């Protein structure tokens, strides 16, 4: 009997490794014939660790199972999918799963992440085979036609980036996967690397076919030890199986991939800073031009894409551009893995076509707050994203619609706050975050964040509130338009959205900062 206990960090943080030990021990004592499969997470974070068993009627899930509960679960008939208070039935029939369109994450939580056979049995490698048959120009056209835009936050069309690298002169070209997922409340990159690593490998190989690159790097943050381990092992297995190597999938092209571990700087998620760090330098933002597509890693033409952008391409190549493009709205095509976190009842990963309204996401899918109090603010797009009030809950999830409301969807992280949130503190936090993480290269960000923090402290202390708020606005204007990169340039989003949408928090009695 196959029993699935996720290796995903959601599950491990809640005792999944201990559950495996318990189950191994109990199975030996009871003489049970079991195979434990360490799968990825399906994304229902509140149910982790979600233990599943393969039965004649399909998979049956139980969650969240805490360490110490395994014996009772076995007594309840886990081996046959027996009844238990924490039984959720077939996980795929769960309302949270039923509402999704899983294209990129279709295997995550379902398969054994490190089994290439399992990967192929669930549709893996079809896209890469087709890419090799089509040739580079065809792949670039297909990805351009699909409408895929960078999922890291900038929303730049992936096909155009690939075309630039394809046409750039260079004896050596690189594919770099940006896995420095530093935004608070985001975990899509981690989930795919832990739960379906071959999908990222295949996406990078497709990018290599498109551009003629021969070497790939995954710049993976050190805070993700499970992802690092799983990715490295998956690369080793893909290389042993000939998917990567001197003759990628039996083609005439060589392509191999290496994992490089980041050292914890938020700014290294910015593409040029990431390249500096990969080259062994201190991660600092580069001036553009030249674009990395022309002069990137070690001065060579480089595709640098977010993990999810790359992991979206196997399905696009396998099913065709039209299939993918049919999902979504406006210029936001395909699906987006929403990451719902914060004070939330049903947090986790929800992959869906663009176009749901923010209200449908946070009140419908997420089920409101965990405290049961009304939602007051939602921050979308990481620590540099704007705070949305209830009045803007009708905004559809789409790059342009969010930009129109002075927000951004970023990497699609959604953090929910209830009515107890103090927006003064949130505005202060944005400056504080920027001051800590600034790379120091440009003045508006390096000095602006510190001055912003000081000024916000004066506002919080009740000192000349309106005058100091005016100063903050002026400073935000300078940071937004004068900063070299998005760290300084986007810090004004959380600050100004907090001030504009929640003015009552800035006019009240002075408070003390904790
Ligand atoms: Fe560095 Fe900040 Fe300037 Fe970006 S905005 S280059 S992080 S100092």
User: pLDDT tens digits, the chain, 514 residues: what are they?
Assistant: 999 999 999 999 999 999 999 999 999 999 999 999 999 999 999 999 999 999 999 999 999 999 999 999 999 999 999 999 999 999 999 999 999 999 999 999 999 999 999 999 999 999 999 999 999 999 999 999 999 999 998 899 999 999 999 999 999 999 999 999 999 999 999 999 999 999 999 999 999 999 999 999 999 999 999 999 999 999 999 999 999 999 999 999 999 999 999 998 999 999 999 999 999 999 999 999 999 999 999 999 999 999 999 999 999 999 999 999 999 999 999 999 999 999 999 999 999 999 999 999 999 999 999 999 999 999 999 999 999 999 999 999 999 999 999 999 999 999 999 999 999 999 999 999 999 999 999 999 999 999 999 999 999 999 999 999 999 999 999 999 999 999 999 999 999 999 999 999 998 545 444 3
Question: Alpha-carbon torsion 400, 431, 460, 184, what sign?
Answer: positive
Q: Which of 425, 417, 450 is nearest to 506 (CA)?
A: 425
Structure confidence at residue 508 (pLDDT): 58
State the Cα torsion 158-169-220-387 to the nearest 10°: -40
Check pocket membership of 446 for ligand 1, CB cut-off 6 A. Answer: yes
The complex's ipTM? 0.99
What interhelical angle do 136-146 and 197-211 show, nearest 10?
120
What are the structural domains of the chain? 2-98 (3.40.30.10), 116-325 (3.40.50.11540), 328-418 (3.10.20.600), 423-507 (1.20.1440.230)
How many whole angstroms from 150 Cα to the centroid of ligand 1? 21
Backbone phi and psi for residue 77, each to the nearest 5 degrees, phi listed first: 95, 35
Check pocket membership of 439 for ligand 1, CB cut-off 6 A. Answer: yes
Cα–Cα separations (whole angstroms), residue 249 to 185, 311, 316, 425: 36, 18, 19, 53
Question: Alpha-carbon torsion 410, 310, 195, 221, what sign?
Answer: negative
Cβ contact 110:192 at 8 Å: no
Give, using CA atoms, the residue closest to atom 4 of ligand 1. 485
Backbone phi and psi for residue 214, each to the nearest 5 degrees, phi listed first: -120, -5
Structure confidence at residue 514 (pLDDT): 39
Q: CA 255 to CA 131: how far, in whole Å?
A: 14
Atom of ligand 1 nearest to the CA of 489: 5
How many whole angstroms from 412 Cα to the centroid of ligand 1? 22
Structure confidence at residue 509 (pLDDT): 47
Question: Alpha-carbon torsion 170, 171, 172, 173, what sign?
Answer: positive
Region at 387 (left for phi over 0; alpha for psi -120 to 50; beta for the rest): beta
Check pocket membership of 267 for ligand 1, CB cut-off 6 A. Answer: yes
Interior/surface letters 375-409, b for 16+ CB within 10 angstroms, e for the rest: bbbbbbbbbbbbbbbbebbebbbbbebbeebebbb
The best mutation among 438, 447, 480 to test binding of ligand 1, ranked by most ligand atoms within 8 Å of the C-beta, falls on 438
Q: CA 155 to CA 150: how far, in whole Å?
A: 4
Structure confidence at residue 243 (pLDDT): 98
* Encoded tokens for 293: 């597509």
The best mutation among 440, 480, 481 to test binding of ligand 1, ranked by most ligand atoms within 8 Å of the C-beta, falls on 440
345: DSSP letter: S
Structure confidence at residue 382 (pLDDT): 94
Q: CA 205 to CA 211: how far, in whole Å?
A: 10
Q: Report the run of H or E that residue 35 belongs to, with start and end.
A: strand 35-37
Rg of the chain (C-alpha set) = 23
Give, using CA atoms, the residue closest to atom 3 of ligand 1. 442
Give, using CA atoms, the residue closest to atom 1 of ligand 1. 439
């Amino acid at each position: 009997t196959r029993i699935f206990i996720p290796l995903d960090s959601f599950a491990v943080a809640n005792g999944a490794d201990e559950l495996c030990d318990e189950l191994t021990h109990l199975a030996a004592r009871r003489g049970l014939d079991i195979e434990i499969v360490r799968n990825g997470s399906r994304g229902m974070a509140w149910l982790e660790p979600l233990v599943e068993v393969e039965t004649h009627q399909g998979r049956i899930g139980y969650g969240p199972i805490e360490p110490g509960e395994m014996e009772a679960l076995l007594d309840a008939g886990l081996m046959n999918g027996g009844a238990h208070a924490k039984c959720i039935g077939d996980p795929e029939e769960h309302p949270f799963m039923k509402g999704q369109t899983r294209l990129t994450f279709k295997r995550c939580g379902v398969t054994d992440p490190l089994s290439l056979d399992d990967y192929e049995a669930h549709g893996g490698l079809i896209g890469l085979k087709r890419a090799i048959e089509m040739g580079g120009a065809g792949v670039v056209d297909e990805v351009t036609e699909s409408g895929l835009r960078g999922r890291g936050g900038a929303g730049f069309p992936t096909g155009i980036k690939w075309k630039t690298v394809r046409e750039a002169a260079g004896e050596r070209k690189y594919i770099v996967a940006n896995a420095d997922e530093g935004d608070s409340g985001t975990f899509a990159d981690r989930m795919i690397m832990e739960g379906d690593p071959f999908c990222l490998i295949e996406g990078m190989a497709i990018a290599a076919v498109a551009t003629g690159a021969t070497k790939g790097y995954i710049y993976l943050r050190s805070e993700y030890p499970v992802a690092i381990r799983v990715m490295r092992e998956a690369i080793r297995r893909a290389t042993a199986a000939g998917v990567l190597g001197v003759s990628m999938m039996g083609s005439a092209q060589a392509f191999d991939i290496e994992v490089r571990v980041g050292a914890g700087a938020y700014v290294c998620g910015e593409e040029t800073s990431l390249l500096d760090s990969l080259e062994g330098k201190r991660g600092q933002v580069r001036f553009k031009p030249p674009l990395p597509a022309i002069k990137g890693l070690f001065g060579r033409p480089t595709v640098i894409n977010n993990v999810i952008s790359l992991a979206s391409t196997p399905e696009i190549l396998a099913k065709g551009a039209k299939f993918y493009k049919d999902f979504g709205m406006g210029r936001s095509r395909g699906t987006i893995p929403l990451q719902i976190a914060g004070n939330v009842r049903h947090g986790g990963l929800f992959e869906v076509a663009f176009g749901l309204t923010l209200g449908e996401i946070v009140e419908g899918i997420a089920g409101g707050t965990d405290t049961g109090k009304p939602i007051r603010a939602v921050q979308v797009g990481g620590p540099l994203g704007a705070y949305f009030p209830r009045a803007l809950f009708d905004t559809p999830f789409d790059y342009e619609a969010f930009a129109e409301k002075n927000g951004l969807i970023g990497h699609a992280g959604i953090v929910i706050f209830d009515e107890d949130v103090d927006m003064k503190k949130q505005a202060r936090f944005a400056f504080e975050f920027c001051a800590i993480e600034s790379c120091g290269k440009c003045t508006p960000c390096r000095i602006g964040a510190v001055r912003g923090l000081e000024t916000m402290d004066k506002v919080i202390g009740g000192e000349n509130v309106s005058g100091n708020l005016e100063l903050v606005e002026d400073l935000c204007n300078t940071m937004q338009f004068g900063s070299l990169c998005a760290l300084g340039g986007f810090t004004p989003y959380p600050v100004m959205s907090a001030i504009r949408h929640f003015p009552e928090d800035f006019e009240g009695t002075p408070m003390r900062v904790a």
